[in-house]
């Protein structure tokens, strides 16, 4: 088995595989260390917006979190520790970039090219994550800018903000976190805002040593807190999926938070979202608004028309002279380069099959035409809580499939086009009234055609239930000994 990616998804899959006796596996990670998005995103202020008790494996609670919402360095260290504690580390190959993975239908194996070398695998797990490839905006002249330009996920730690005139493009979760870190240090900060973000008061708090000791000595207390936090997250689902009007109290809280921290009416109007709460990803911060009201900060809502050597030009004809441009412009969810490297039974890549970002899959895990491929955090697998919860459910699905493959001599299985289409139709119907679809915004949750390819249309428990067992009626199954061993595999229309 080959696993691509050593973040939560890849490490979680490897742990559970080893625990169930599937030890012939390797984890390929292109970065120099494990951690996935939490190894790459090292910008100042990087922090998870999910409580730490939820943002960890259920089978590996961490009583040592120092904050209610964990910091980047602690999350990365936790993932590395899990890899070591559960025996995954010897199976990891860091600095190994998978440049091609192609399904060989005759031999019934995946053939991989990694750092120029060839590998084969019976099963391929794609755990690259949705936030693995930074999205660099296509702005005329950006490459000709005389100063420094870098993305939040490619932070230049040799760069110093002291005394600099800094432009920030983007107002997503990353920018909300690093802007307050930059503003006190720079000579001037200009935030170029296309769409304001819903921001709520941040409930983050340090976790005292006394509480951490209690978690370590009485694990049931941490499990109880995990359950309570999970319930709070689940309470958001009816409003997000079916009845957006239920989110009005959250929107009122956001407006109150804005009024409380921004006295200037003109600036407040610029920072007030005009779309429904939840349509775009909301976030938490107690320092973002104060940073933007500081004397050395400005918010520009005029559209950017281009970049000159000395600064950024906006639609009103003004050129804003700056020394550095920081990109808080998110990630390529639907058009990641990694999708062009995975080729199915007919030779087409995932990028070609999905064409122009129209991502579709079965239960967020299997894609028709790509046998023995398991995607972690694939299309329509996201639940509105910790994505570690999604990952664990998908890994359970993987383990159930592997056990049946071993027990019944299955060489490969491929979800049928009809089963995938049925699932996609069910998901689309379930999301048609959701705030993401009806909230009046354009977000990375939606494909170019407007299809919501991100979310699962329901609660965590419904996703877990759907992922508990593989429904073999939805797959074409091949059994028998691999062609490599002298016998052609046989095909079954249905496996019971």
The domains located in the chain, with CATH, are: 2-133+332-479 (3.50.50.60), 148-205+239-327 (3.50.50.60)
For 59-81, write each residue's pLDDT tens digit.
999 999 999 999 999 999 999 99
For 90-140, write each residue's pLDDT tens digit.
999 999 999 999 999 999 999 999 999 999 999 999 999 887 788 889 999
- Give one DSSP letter per residue of 216-242, joined into a string: HH-HHHHHHHHHHHHHHHHTTHIIIII
pLDDT digits (tens), the chain, 496 positions:
999 999 999 999 999 999 999 999 999 999 999 999 999 999 999 999 999 999 999 999 999 999 999 999 999 999 999 999 999 999 999 999 999 999 999 999 999 999 999 999 999 999 998 877 888 899 999 999 999 999 999 999 999 999 999 999 999 899 999 999 999 999 999 999 999 999 999 999 999 999 999 999 999 999 999 999 999 999 999 999 999 999 999 999 999 999 999 999 999 999 999 999 999 999 999 999 999 999 999 999 999 999 999 999 999 999 999 999 999 998 877 667 889 999 999 999 999 999 878 999 999 999 999 999 999 999 999 998 899 999 999 999 999 999 999 999 999 999 999 999 999 999 999 999 999 999 999 898 999 899 999 999 999 999 999 999 999 999 999 997 543 333 333 333 332 2
| Residues paired with residue 151 on neighbouring β-strands, in sequence order | 327
What is the β-pairing status of strands 92-94 and 283-284? Answer: unpaired
Alpha carbon distance 149, 162 (integer Å): 16
Question: How much of the chain is in helix, strand and coil states, percent to nearest 5?
Answer: 35, 20, 45
What b/e readout covers 461-488, taking b as 16+ CB neighbours within 10 angstroms? Answer: eebbebbeebebebbbbbbbebbeeeee
Query: What is the value of pTM for the model shown?
Result: 0.93
Q: Where are the alpha helices (H) located in 409-445, listed in sequence order?
A: 417-431, 435-438
């Amino acid at each position: 088995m080959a696993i691509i990616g050593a973040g939560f998804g890849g490490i979680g899959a490897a742990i559970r595989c080893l625990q169930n006796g599937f030890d012939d596996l390797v984890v390929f990670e292109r970065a120099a260390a494990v951690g996935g998005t939490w190894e790459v995103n090292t910008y100042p202020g990087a922090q998870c917006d999910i409580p730490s008790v939820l943002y960890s494996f259920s089978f590996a609670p961490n009583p040592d979190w120092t904050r209610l919402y964990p910091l980047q360095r602690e999350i990365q260290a936790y993932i590395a520790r899990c890899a070591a504690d559960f025996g995954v580390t010897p199976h990891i190959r860091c600095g190994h970039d998978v440049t091609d993975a192609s399904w060989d239908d005759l031999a019934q194996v995946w053939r991989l090219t990694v750092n120029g070398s060839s590998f084969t695998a019976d099963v391929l797990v794609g755990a690259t994550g949705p936030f693995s490839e930074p999205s660099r905006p296509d702005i005329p002249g950006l490459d000709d800018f005389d100063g420094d330009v870098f993305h939040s996920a490619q932070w230049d730690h040799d760069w110093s903000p002291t005394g600099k005139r800094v432009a920030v493009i983007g107002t997503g979760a990353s920018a909300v976190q690093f802007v307050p870190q930059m503003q006190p240090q720079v000579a001037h900060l200009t935030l170029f805002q296309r769409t304001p973000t819903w921001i709520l008061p941040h409930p983050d708090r340090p976790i005292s040593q006394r509480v951490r000791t209690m978690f370590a000595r009485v694990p049931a207390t941490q499990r109880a807190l995990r359950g309570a936090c999970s319930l709070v997250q689940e309470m958001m689902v009816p409003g997000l999926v079916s009845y957006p009007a239920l989110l009005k109290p959250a929107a009122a809280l956001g407006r109150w938070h804005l009024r409380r921290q921004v006295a200037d009416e003109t600036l407040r109007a610029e920072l007030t979202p005009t779309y429904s709460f939840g349509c775009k990803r909301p976030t938490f911060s107690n320092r973002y608004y104060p940073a933007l009201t500081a004397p050395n900060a400005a918010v520009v809502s005029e559209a950017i028309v281009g970049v000159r050597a000395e600064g950024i030009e906006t639609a009103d004809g003004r050129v804003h002279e700056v020394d550095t441009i920081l990109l808080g412009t998110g990630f390529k969810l639907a058009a990641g380069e990694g999708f062009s490297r995975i080729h199915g039974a007919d030779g087409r890549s995932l990028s070609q099959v999905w064409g122009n970002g129209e991502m579709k899959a079965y239960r967020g895990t299997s894609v028709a035409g790509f046998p023995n491929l398991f995607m972690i955090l694939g299309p329509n697998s996201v639940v509105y809580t910790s994505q570690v919860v999604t990952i664990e459910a998908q890994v359970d699905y993987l383990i159930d499939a592997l056990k049946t493959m071993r027990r019944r001599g299955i060489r490969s299985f491929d979800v049928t086009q009809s089963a995938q289409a049925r699932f996609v139709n069910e998901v689309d119907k379930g999301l048609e009234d959701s705030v993401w679809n009806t909230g009046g915004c354009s977000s990375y949750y939606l494909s170019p055609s407007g299809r919501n390819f991100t979310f699962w249309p329901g609660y965590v428990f419904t996703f877990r239930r759907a992922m508990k067992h593989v429904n073999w009626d939805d797959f074409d199954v091949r059994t028998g000994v691999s062609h490599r061993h002298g016998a052609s595999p046989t095909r079954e229309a249905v496996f019971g």
